[in-house]
Amino acid sequence: MSKKKILFYLAQEYYWPSMEPIYQAFKKDKNYDLSIYLDKNSKRYFYIFLISQQKKLERKYRDLGYKITSESKGFDAVFCGAPIKKPERFGEALLCNVDHGPGIKTLRYRHFLKQSNTKYLCFIEGQYRADKFKKYDLDKIEDIVDVGLPKLDRFFNGYFNAGEIFRSLNLDPDRQTVLYAPSYKPTSIFDIGRQIVALGDKYNIIVKLHPYSWSGKYASHAQHRLFEELQKKYSHFLLVRPEKHDIMPFMFIADTMISDGSSVINEFLALGRCGIIYDMDESKLKHGDGQQVLEDSGASWLKDSFIHIQDPEQISDAIEQALNPSIERLKKIKEDKEYIFSYTDGKSAERVKNKVDEVLSQRGE
């Protein structure tokens, strides 16, 4: 019997942490042939020129042992981290969407609605996302399966070792660790970035920027340059280099995390720890057609679970509160976690594979 062919389509390299657990689940099954397709992943130079990183990334992943392809036809299933531009290029393949970031922005729903004639098998993380798909009537367009979030499996299956991570980063494991992971748009970088890194004499401070904050394609290079300049003044913080897309190990060791509208704030919630959200002025955060960028107001999101601040002067107190949450706040964290994530058992990727096995088997009948 011929092997079924699965393609992992990386429109952006930073989608890979969301797909890798699924890749590994399929890799164990000899009935599948796996390939990776890397798109342009362009980077902006000199504020003007967009240069494709495709060939460079293909070499990188080929050297890591992955099978790289430029073919788009002949696959039984295609995994994507966001709705695909021109999905018809993949022919009759089963289109499987595992979103790269389960946040509160409207972008995912907008993209699906623009492709109302294309059906995806959408893997979602819990009841919150199911409610939103129903709100937009996407449950009538797509096939939706609640599996938890495969990206988070490594939090719960013993993959990470905190001691090893601290050693690899040359951080003090006896210090409490604060992770700052802002979005690129909207971003709190210029509001609170300086104040956070200044706390490096008290905590392990890790700054993990969004890939777009480095590439210059959708956000100014000023975002990463600010922290590169701050390193000259404040040596006691870690600025994660752009080559390291995977935020998971940094979240795993963080005692608290500060963000704004980034999807990683939800992912941190899955650990059952208290995070901090910087509330921004959302009045101008709209798409070209007038729709809000955020599906839910950042100021009200996880309002009883996480600490919300509106002023840089509140950062120190917020960190202390987050590191010492009340019993009432811990209860709300648990409630919100269970609403957003149906499963945190380290087996979400297995559930994805089982469903794809089932659908492809039915197609072959």
Q: Which residues contact 194 (CB under 8 A, 6 or more apart)?
A: 226, 230, 312
The domain ranges of the chain are: 4-152+346-364, 158-340
pLDDT in tens, 175-223: 999 999 998 887 899 999 999 999 999 999 999 998 888 887 778 889 9
Structure confidence by residue, pLDDT tens digits, 254-294: 999 999 877 789 999 999 999 999 998 766 666 666 666 67
Higher pLDDT residue, 163 or 41? Answer: 163
Residue 110 is inside which H or E element, if any? helix 107-113
145 residue type, one letter: V
1 vs 183, residue with greater confidence: 183
CATH of 4-152+346-364, one of 3.30.365.10, 3.40.630.10, 3.40.50.2000, 3.40.50.300: 3.40.50.2000
With a cut of 50, say whether residue 365 has pLDDT above it: no
* Per-residue pLDDT reduced to its tens digit, 135-145: 999 999 999 99
Higher pLDDT, 206 or 51: 206
Is pLDDT above 80 for 337? Answer: yes
* Burial of 69 from C-beta contacts in 10 A (0-12 / 13-18 / 19+): middle
pLDDT value of residue 280:
83
CATH topology of domain 158-340: Rossmann fold (3.40.50)
| Per-residue pLDDT at 189 | 94
For residue range 65-75, list pLDDT tens digits in order.
999 999 999 99
Q: Average pLDDT for residues 320-343, to the nearest whole number?
A: 97
Task: Using pLDDT thresholds of 50, 70 and 90, give the confidence band for residue 32.
Answer: very high
pLDDT of 53 > 80? The answer is no
Does 237 have pLDDT greater than 90? yes
158-340 shares the fold of 4-152+346-364: yes
Q: What is the pLDDT of residue 214?
A: 83
Whether this model's pTM surpasses 0.85: yes
In order, the DSSP letters of 322-348 are HHS--HHHHHHHHHHHHHH-S--SS-H
Mean pLDDT, range 29-41, rounded to an integer = 90
Residue 47: the pLDDT is 54
